Amino acid sequence: MDYAEARRRMVDGQVKPNRVTDPRILLAMLEVPRELFVPPALRVRALADEDLALGRGRVLLQPMTIGRMIQLAAPRPGERVLVLSAGTGYGAALLAHMGVQVIALEDDAVLADLGGAAIAASNLPPGALRRETGLPPAGFPAGAPFDLILVEGAVPAVPPALVQQLAEGGRLVAIRQPPGEVGAAILGRRVGAAFSVVEAFDVQGTLLPAFTPRAGFVLA
């Protein structure tokens, strides 16, 4: 299979028609080998217009969804970006390709290990992407403050700890999906002590296990 040609068809047939117009995102999606960010048996489906199940309740977001979320985030070169529930690292690699400094946080060692070779094959700028292990709802205080936080999946609510790790004027993008409701991609912004959120577009996501409330654990 000619994956370079398949990525071109993905961009032209899925991403551009869904209002992703930022040329930096389109170029990154052409050059970052999405097919390497999934197990070998799933590579033939990696460029399809669908979320791709990776096991253990996790998915690789469909191309147009991650493309629109990154466009909503509007990353600027040189910004410090935290990607939470980064999975195999595809979204983090796209951002690093766009010239930002990325910390990718993942709590599933199997997914993180799977993404290692893919990230190495993505020809990213030296030092642009750093991977860390930890619980995504807690963020990564050691690296804060961040200009942008991207949660790569659906959450019932935004944990306050993440807001506290945003720089002044910092943005947060996630799929907010309260139980039983339709999900929406949100853009949050911190200004002083205030955190304002707007819904950008509807999208039904898979709730991230790390963010799903458990008995005795409540997300505010």
For strand 52-55 and strand 58-60, is the pairing parallel, antiparallel, or unpaired? antiparallel
- What is the 8-class DSSP label of residue 181? S
Residue 180: its pLDDT value, please? 85
Residue 46: its pLDDT value, please? 96
Residue 1: its pLDDT value, please? 87
Radius of gyration of the chain (CA): 16
Residue 205: its pLDDT value, please? 87
Residue 213: its pLDDT value, please? 66
Tell me the CA distances in angstroms from 25 to 66, 75, 148, one per residue in order.
10, 10, 16
Residue 194: its pLDDT value, please? 96
CATH of domain 3-211: 3.40.50.150
- What is the 8-class DSSP label of residue 31? H
Rounded to 10 degrees, the C-alpha dihedral 98/27/37/61 comes to 90
pTM check: above 0.75: yes
Residue 220: its pLDDT value, please? 42
Residue 212: its pLDDT value, please? 87
Q: Which tokens hold the place of 82? A: 């935290």
Q: Is 180 exposed, middle or buried (0-12, 13-18, 19+ CB in 10 A)?
A: exposed
Per-residue pLDDT of the chain (220 residues), as tens digits, is 899 999 999 999 999 999 999 999 999 999 999 999 999 999 999 999 999 999 989 999 999 999 999 999 999 999 999 999 999 999 999 999 999 999 999 999 999 999 998 999 999 999 999 999 999 999 999 999 999 999 999 999 999 999 999 999 999 999 999 988 889 999 999 999 899 999 999 998 899 999 986 644 444 4
Residue 219: its pLDDT value, please? 44
Residue 179: its pLDDT value, please? 86
